[in-house]
Amino acid sequence: MYSTNFCDNICRRKIYCYFYKKLYNSELLNLNLFCISVRDKRVVVLTGAGVSAESGVKTFRGNDGLWENHSLDDVATPDAWIRDPQLVWDFYQARRNQLTQVEPNPAHLALGLLQSEIPDFTLITQNVDDLHERGGSSSVLHMHGELRTLRCEVTGETELRMTDSDLSQNFVNCNCCETPTKMRPDIVWFGEIPMFMQKIYQMVENCDIFIVIGSSGHVYPAAGLVGVASTYGAHTILVNYDLPVNADMFDEVHTGKAGELLPKLVTEWLD
Ligand code: NAD
């Protein structure tokens, strides 16, 4: 439940932001205008590929619309899987193998700490890697699926499949069907519906603070969540290397590397 004071505060902040922008015709760049403590608030964090960039996992937008030198149409659509399953399989097996070689960075660790200090905390990620979990976060909502798991195409059941034989070039069969069938990556491809959307909208509509980290604002519905949070009165914060297309939708913007900014911001927020 919102406290009246908190709502008043949010309204004042938004009005102040509006006039500040008008007056100075300025984006709120690197200005931590609001000294807020997040400890007692309902906090929702949404992360994108940028949060894993400093771990050595390439982003998508950083490569001129290519993901690890592949066009998304070739490797990240249901049509691609039908057209050339071996190409798609090889692409995701390479991403799955990469998980065994990368480590969480200070941004993942800072978010693990933030979660441990805030009773009402939700972490939504567009990322398919497992670096949040390994950085200390739990109950992560992977809206675009996960690399660690594979999905049976017949039953839709998922299995954690990360043994050496699961990570080879060969297709992997499920354990759930009488006649084991080929599994697909447990990834939400372009044109498919992201996971947990009902819960995600519920959490975003009811949060006090909505923080987006390392996301280009190009991929919907994730990119639209800041609009939802804002409409429902949340204070919205962005931490991103550069200004994404939806930057002006945020109340507060911090530009720079997440691994450098987040440990400091989390300390401030928890003060
Ligand atoms: P994106 O690649 O479109 O955008 C990444 C954003 O992060 C950019 O705005 C970039 O400037 C910013 N960024 C880069 N390095 C950063 C850093 N060190 N600190 C802070 N910000 C940094 O990513 P998206 O918005 O998440 O959308 C891409 C889609 O591709 C998603 O659906 C995602 O599932 C998928 N993807 C996932 C991974 C992963 O799981 N790690 C990697 C690549 C792509």
Domains of the chain: 1-57+104-144+194-271 (3.40.50.1220), 62-101+145-187 (3.30.1600.10)
The pLDDT value recorded for residue 168 is 94
| 263 touches ligand 1 (CB under 6 Å) | no
Cα gap 108→206, rounded to integer Å? 24
End-to-end CA distance of the chain: 23
| 260 touches ligand 1 (CB under 6 Å) | no
| Gap from CA of 209 to ligand 1 centroid (Å) | 21
Tokens of 22: 């008008």
Amino acid type, 45: V
- 239, 48 contact by CB (below 8 A): no
Q: Residue 67: which pLDDT band, with cuts at 50, 70 and 90? A: confident
Q: In this model, does residue 195 exceed pLDDT 50?
A: yes
| 105 touches ligand 1 (CB under 6 Å) | no
Tokens of 171: 């297709």
Helix (H, G, I), strand (E, B) or coil at 187: strand
Q: Residue 4: which pLDDT band, with cuts at 50, 70 and 90? A: very low
| Gap from CA of 142 to ligand 1 centroid (Å) | 14
The active-site residue, picked from 132, 142, 144, 235, is: 144
What mean pLDDT is predicted for residues 152-173?
A: 97
Phi, psi of 222 (to 5 degrees): -55, -45
| Polymer length in residues for the chain | 271
- 256, 264 contact by CB (below 8 A): no
What mean pLDDT is predicted for residues 104-130?
A: 98
Average pLDDT, the chain: 88
Q: Which residues contact 252 (CB under 8 A, 6 or more apart)?
A: 28, 31, 32, 33, 34, 235, 236, 237, 238
> Among residues of the chain, what percentage have pLDDT more than 70?
85
| 184 touches ligand 1 (CB under 6 Å) | no
CA-nearest residue for atom 23, ligand 1, is 49
Q: Which pTM does this prediction carry?
A: 0.87
| 62 touches ligand 1 (CB under 6 Å) | yes
H or E element at residue 131: helix 131-134
Q: Residue 35: which pLDDT band, with cuts at 50, 70 and 90? A: low
| Gap from CA of 51 to ligand 1 centroid (Å) | 7
Q: Out of 66-80, 157-171, 189-203, which region has the weakest mean confidence (pLDDT)? A: 66-80
Pairing mode of beta strands 209-213, 235-240: parallel
CA-nearest residue for atom 25, ligand 1, is 215
| Gap from CA of 255 to ligand 1 centroid (Å) | 14
**For 239, which DSSP code?**
E
| Gap from CA of 11 to ligand 1 centroid (Å) | 31
| 95 touches ligand 1 (CB under 6 Å) | no
- Matching residue, tokens 């690197």: 30
- 233, 7 contact by CB (below 8 A): yes
Q: Is residue 235 among the annotated active site residues?
A: no
CA-nearest residue for atom 31, ligand 1, is 126
Q: Is the dihedral of CA 249, 254, 255, 260 positive or negative?
A: negative
Cα gap 159→143, rounded to integer Å? 17
Q: In this model, does residue 141 exceed pLDDT 60?
A: yes
> Among residues of the chain, what percentage have pLDDT more than 90?
79
Q: Where are the beta strands (DSSP E) in the chain?
A: 43-47, 66-67, 70-71, 121-125, 141-142, 145-152, 158-160, 183-187, 209-213, 235-240, 252-255
Q: Out of 56-70, 113-127, 232-246, which region has the weakest mean confidence (pLDDT)? A: 56-70
| 254 touches ligand 1 (CB under 6 Å) | no
The pLDDT value recorded for residue 60 is 78
CA-nearest residue for atom 8, ligand 1, is 216
| 215 touches ligand 1 (CB under 6 Å) | yes
Q: Residue 96: which pLDDT band, with cuts at 50, 70 and 90? A: very high
